[in-house]
Structure formats: C-alpha cells, structure tokens
Chains A and B, each alone.
Chain A
Amino acid sequence: MQKVLPLSDYRWLALPPLSFLLLLVGLPLSRLLYEGGLAFSPALLGDAYLQWRLGWSLLQAAATCALTLLLGLPLAWVLAHFEFRGRTLLLRVLMLPFVMPTLVAGLGVLALFGPHGLSGLNLQDTPWLLLYGNLFYNLPLLIRAAVDGFDHVPASRLMVARTLGASRWRTFWRVEWPVVRPWLASALCLIFLYCFSGFGLALLLGGQRYATVEVEIYSLVAYELNLADAGALALLMLLLGAVIALLYALIERRLARPDKRSPPLRQPVQGWPQRLLLLASLLLLALFAAAPLLAVLLRALLADAAAWRVLLQDDTQLALGNTLRFSLLALLLATLLGLLHGLAAQRSAGLRALMFLPFMVSPVCVAFGLLLAYPAYSATLALLVAAYALLAYPFVAKAVVSARDALPAALPNAARTLGASPWRVFWRVSLPLMRPALRRGMAFAAATAVGEFAVSLFLSRPEWLTLTTLIYQHLGRPGAANLEAALVLSSVLLLLALLAFMAIEWPEKTHARTS
C-alpha cells in the first residue's frame, strides 16, 4: 500500500520551483560572481555616499511599509465590511497601478503634482512625491491581502463578539487583527523588498538624490562591466533582503493559524455615518491609487482622434498579440510554480523566505548572469517567458501560503477519514477553499507579467514587441504624436489588464455552499 503523507508535509513539492530558482537565479548569479572574481574594491563599502544610499534604501522601504499599513488597513477594513455596488469591480481596478510602465505612471503623477500639475502643487524632486509614488504602487498589494484576511475572520466569532457587547474597536483588536496579521506579513515583506531594490519610480519622482543601491549596481554592470564591485554589492543586497524575508517567514509561521471558514459577513451601508465613512475611503483610494491613472486616461481621451489611429498600426497589433501570448504563458508557468512552492512551504520558514528570492536578487546581475550561463539560449523566447514567470510566481506562492495557513484541518481530515485519496482531498476540498486567494495571486502575477520589469534587461527581438516595450519606443522619440501614442497605448494596456483581472477573478458562486 502506498505510504500516506500527512496533509501538511508536502515539502517534496518544492523540487520543481527550487530547481527553477537554481537554474534561473542560483547558477547565473554564481557564474557572474565567478566571472567578477573577488577583486572588488575594499573602499567600496567604506564609501560614505554608498552607505548613505544603503541607509536611504532601507529607510524609504520601511517608511513605505509603515505608510501603506497605516493607510491600507483601515481602507481594507471598510472594503471588507461593507457591501456596496461596484465593490467587486473596485477590488479589480485596485490592481491597475501594477501594470503601468514606470515612466507613464510618472507622467500621470506629474500631471497632478508636477510643475504644471492639476493640483496646483508642485512636488517634483521632493521626497513627498517619491513616497506618494511608492504608495501608488504598493497600496493595492496591502489592501488586497488585508481584505482577504478580513474575509477569513469567521462570521460566527464576529457575531458572538458583538452579542457580548464588544465595541467595533475591541472586536477588531481581539477578533480580527489576529486573523489578518499573517496575511499582512507577506504583503509587507513584498512591499519592503520592492522598495528596497526598486529602480524606476523612486529615481523618476525623487531625482538622483534618492537613487537606490540597485541603480549603482546597474551602472557598474551595464556600463562599466565592473563585475567584482557589482557582485559584492549585489551579494550585500541579497543578504539584507534574505534577512528581511527570513524575519517575515518566522513571524508568519508563528502567527499563522487555521480558521473555520465561513462566507464573509458584509453589511449594506446604512445611515449617514457609514455613508460618510465609505465616501471618505473611496476618496482616499481615488487620491492614492487612481488619480495618476485617471490623469493618463484623461490625457489619452483629450488626444486627437488621429492619435487613436496608432491602434490600427501593424506594430500595435503585434504588441497586443504578444502581450496576451507572453502573459498567458508566464501566468501558466507562474501558477504551477507558485502553487507547488506555496504548498511546500507551509512547514518550513526557509522555503517561505526563498519564495521571495526573485525580488532579493539584483535584476541586472541575473540578466547578465543568464547571458554568461546560457549564451546559446540567451535570445530565445523560452528564456524570456521563464524570466517573466520568475518575477510573477512569488505572488502566487505568497497567496497560496497564506490561504494554506488559514485552511481548517477539520475538513480535509474528515475527507481523509471518509476514504478520499490525498489527491482527491486536495482537488475537492483544499483547492476550492484556497481558490479566491490563489486567483488574487494569479491576477497580481499576470499584472507583473504585463509590466516592464524584466523586459529591458534581457536580450529581446523586435518580433517580441509587447505593449510595454512599444510604449517605451514611442517615449524614446521626440514629438507630440509619440507622447499621445504612448498615452493611448497605456490606456489600452489598462483596459486589457482590467479585463484580464475580471476573467482571472471571476466572482465565484460555489463557495457559499462550503459554510
């Protein structure tokens, strides 16, 4: 008879994702470090400016985490507790900042807070704009994770608390907060790593003063080919990132606890205090998450009809097709890897931390390392899709880990006693319970796959043109027509992404039965 594994011990499932990480990150990075040798300048780490940069990288990442938590948690609470029209749509729209190419997002932000911004406030080249930009990109991550967390609070416990006369605040603090905490941990870890090694928006909005260490690494590798210094810096960043990720993993594993799952309890908005609360929340969301996007949309709509003709060009058709094709391929691979890694990681803090590896390593080092390690495959589509999947799969893995943690043991156990095979238990019990979180992870994964991150660093071919690269091509040339084409294409990108999010996260009717 086949040996039956306890449900929670699926560590062997990590084999495919770990091999993938080894092939796409481990080997290339080692190859690059080997090429660079140990001859890095000893003065490198003593450089006061670099230390300042490192300090700044850490500080702004921590500040962004604190701000997103402060702002995001109350907003998520409102979104999780009240039922109102368009709520589902709003949760999908919330993820749109993620697909916006950095430069276009920058254009949107400056249209509001630039020298001639609509707000009348010029914040260009101040740290405020930089923090605003960081909130714009990261708030969605936190809110979506927190809403999921709130949805896992058992309705019965909430009702008991209220019947016993607990105030809203006390209910939040004693009943909801313990359940939501682990969901926040992974989102905050991701936000920290994103801001810590961030490259694009900080530089664009804050100016060169606020450049992160990753910018230094990029210029050492791509321009100076000083692999020794770059390698030393990249290792340092990796180490710091690993400490953060491990810290997260330990915290999350400690906090994680299964809960009785019941359909979330949402009440309709009643009375003016609640209406006001909802309105204020929506306004805040509009200001921090939607305003730059709306500015881009508005500028596209105000563009000449001629500007929209860019949609009929061959290049645009090619880019649309490629964007769909690559995102789909990357999403499939990312879902598979993320699911395996997420399921395997439940018992192991190390595996939990490792799923964030793609965000801990310097992208430019990985790109050049891949070139060194696999020159023959360097300009192949397979490698490109793998790179997309690499950056997308942590979102899936993270969502699966959180959902798996919250999974009540009683249901799968009952199924097992009734004679269901482990596979059947997974397919019919565990997976359906994890599906909402899985879908949210997939939507984020799809969003990063359409985004720009990997594109510019890897070898690419003109026939692989995507919407994002096409937008950057237009912004690589002077002329009003190019700017308008970029804005129109960005609007199309937003619309496409929204459709994709709705398809991936199609509201499920079935899980109401599970209560």
Chain B
Amino acid sequence: MFKKSVLLLALAGVSLTTLAAELRVMTHSSFSLPKERIAEFEKQSGAKLAIIKGGDAGEMLNKLILTRANPVADVVYGIDNTLIGKANAAGVLEPTSSKVGRNVAVASLPGAVAIDYGYVTLNIDKAWFAGSKLPLPATLDDLTRPAYKDLLVVENPATSSPGLAFLLATIAGKGEEGAFQWWGKLRDNGLKVAKGWSEAYYTDFTRNGGARPIVVSYATSPAAEVFYSKEKLAESPTANLLLKGGVFMQVEGVARVKGGLQPALAQQFVDFLRGEAVQKELQTSMWMYPAVAGVALAPVFKHAAQPASFSNPDLKAMQHKTAAWVSRWTRLVIKNAP
C-alpha cells in the first residue's frame, strides 16, 4: 500500500523525487541546527532531509491542519505544550515515542517526543535599573503601581508565541478573573503591546534604544546576550525577572505526521533529535534546555538563572480555552473595553 502510493505519486510527477528517499521535516521558523548535524543524519540514514519552515509555531500547526488530507511533511518539530492539545484533537499527529534517552522531570508532551524546554519570562535592562535607582518589582502587582508606569512592553498574544505564553502564565498564576483584572490595571498603567518578539526587543526595550526597561522574553536571553556580545562580557547586561505568575514553561517536541510518506525515516529523525550531539548543540543554536536527562549544559547558561517554579494552565484548559482567553485579552487591552 505504502509502496504503491509512493509509486503513484512519483508517476504523477507530484513529488520532487530524487533517487534517495526524501524526509520532509516541518519546523517553525526558529529551528536551527549546525549543518554538520544535518549532513550526519543524511549520511546515517541515506535519505535527503528537506526542512520546511512554516512560520511561527502556531501558524505552522495551522498549516499542517489545513493540509491534513495531503500532508506536506512526514515529521514535525516545534509543536509545544500550548499547541499539542489542538494538534492531537485535529488528528494531524501519529502518536510518537522514542527509546533514546530519558526525559528530565519537567519535559513531557502527550503523543509527541519532547526535545527541549525553556521559559518565557520578564527580562530587565540592568543598566537602566542601576541608573534609575528604582527597586526591581517584586510581584506582578507592583507593575501596576504608578512607580512602574510606562516601563513594560509585552508581545501581542494574538500574533506572538512568547506573548501568548506570558498571558497563559498570568492566568495560571492569578486565576482567570484575577489575571484579567491585573491586565486591565496594567493597560491603564501605560502597558505597551508590540507585534512580536523582534519588535519588542529591538524597538521598545531600553537595551536597544527603546523606552521600556522590562520586556517579555526568554529565560535564556541573558545568556544569549553574553554569547552574542561584541566583546567578552563578564556578566550579562540583562537579567531574568522571575515573578510569581510571570513564568511559563514551554516544552517543544517532535512527532510523526499522520499520513506521512516516510514513517521509518521519520522515527529515525525523532531518535536523532534525542541523541546527545543534537541535545548539546540545540542549547546555543535554539537557546533552549535539553529535554534528555544527563546532557551537560552549555557553560554560557550560567548567565541565565533557571526558574525554580513556573505557572502553566493544564493542557486541557490550554486546548479548549486559549482562543477565548486571547479574544478576551484583545477586547480588554487593545480594544480598551471594560
């Protein structure tokens, strides 16, 4: 059956078949691995790897859902815990597991194989706070006080995944009603909303010439600031501001796509991502923590405090309520409705 369909497709001239089998990997736009790793996989498996980038993770999943009758990929990387419920409900994934490695405690993803995890949280510009003598906010509620007026920029949860993750954390941390009350106060206290992470970080954050010293970013960003600095820095110019209800833990995973043409190769790719080499290298190529237990952390990660706790809504709630939460947020914060 499988061979027959491959043959039919080839005959129809639909696939761009070369002599070697091709494994189509759908990823979000932040996927990045060293070229040598990709070449190594191609050599091991004898297959050609076609990486297809589908935009932001949410956009990518929707593209998979739309094309489920004629899947455009055999395996997908980048579905995270905010999306896995939707993906499973839409039936675009083949339940996938891997025998390689053991998960660290926090990292698991139903129906998919966890590859990495990280945290969305507030980042601050250290120099700005040192100069202003303002103490760092100690709670989320502090951010609604007049002293902290006009200091925060967040990404719009309707157009950005870190923005969505931060909204989800506040809902889990404060309860739905409490969270939206807080957002209302925050809006009145001069909250700035940016379209996406790049806009927030590079046009609004004081570190890069903007006017806001607090930004929603990732817990590994301070380490990346050191890694991508111009001169050797002894410490990061930014730091995590880990507030209760302001930290979201994100787990990203990989899974075979239902109806994919290369299930065996897809499984091989899943196992490859769990391998030690990839688990080590993804840390500084994608700025996430390895999901496999026992993998050494990159030395530069000492510049980023790893959060001890976080607040995530449960997977079921995220699957069923996210859309309603986002439209409520839009009504409240953007449309300025009571």
Chain A contacts to B: CB under 8 angstroms: 35, 49, 103, 106-107, 110-111, 114-116, 122, 124-125, 203-204, 207-209, 211, 215, 218-219, 221-225, 304, 306-307, 314, 368, 371-372, 375-376, 378-380, 456-457, 459-462, 472, 475-484
Contact = CB atoms under 8 A, between A and B. Distances in A.
5 contacts: A111-B209, A208-B194, A378-B72, A460-B53, A476-B198
Interface string B187-210: 000001111011101110010111
A307 B230 CA distance: 8
A222 B196 CA distance: 14
Interface string B24-38: 100001100001000
Contacts of A371: 63, 66-67, 72
A208 B156 contact: yes
Contacts of A484: 230
B159 interface: yes
Given A225-B66, A459-B63, A483-B208, A304 B326 contact: no
Nearest to A486: B202
User: How big is the B interface, by class?
Assistant: 35 or more
B58 A107 contact: no
Contact of B159 (A106, A219, A460, A462): A219
Given A110-B203, A476-B29, A479-B229, 7 more contacts: A103-B199, A222-B55, A225-B66, A376-B70, A456-B55, A459-B54, A460-B53
Contacts of A209: 334
A481 B55 contact: no
B41 to A, nearest CB: 14
A204 B70 contact: no
Interface of B: 14-16, 24, 29-30, 35, 50-56, 58-59, 62-63, 65-67, 69-72, 156, 158-159, 192-195, 197-199, 201-203, 206, 208-211, 217, 221, 224-230, 238, 287, 323, 326, 334-335, 337
B63 A481 contact: no
A481 B59 CA distance: 29
A379 B56 contact: no
A477 B222 CA distance: 11
Given A114-B210, A481-B230, A107 B159 contact: no
Contact of B203 (A106, A375, A472): A106
A452 to B, nearest CB: 12
Nearest to A203: B195
Contacts of B203: 103, 106-107, 110, 114, 204
Nearest to B199: A204
Q: Interface majority SS on A: helix, strand, loop or mixed?
A: helix
Given A379-B72, A461-B52, A478 B225 contact: yes
Contacts of B56: 222
Given A379-B72, A380-B16, A461-B50, A223 B193 contact: no
Nearest to A475: B198
Contacts of A376: 14-15, 70
A479 B53 contact: no
Nearest to A208: B193
B39 to A, nearest CB: 13
A304 B230 contact: yes
A478 B209 CA distance: 14
Contacts of B71: 375
Contacts of A35: 66
A462 B51 contact: yes
Contacts of A225: 62, 65-66
A475 B198 CA distance: 6
B195 A204 contact: yes
A115 B192 CA distance: 14
B56 to A, nearest CB: 7
Contacts of B54: 459
Nearest to B224: A478
B217 A124 contact: no
Given A103-B202, A218-B159, A224-B323, A478 B238 contact: yes
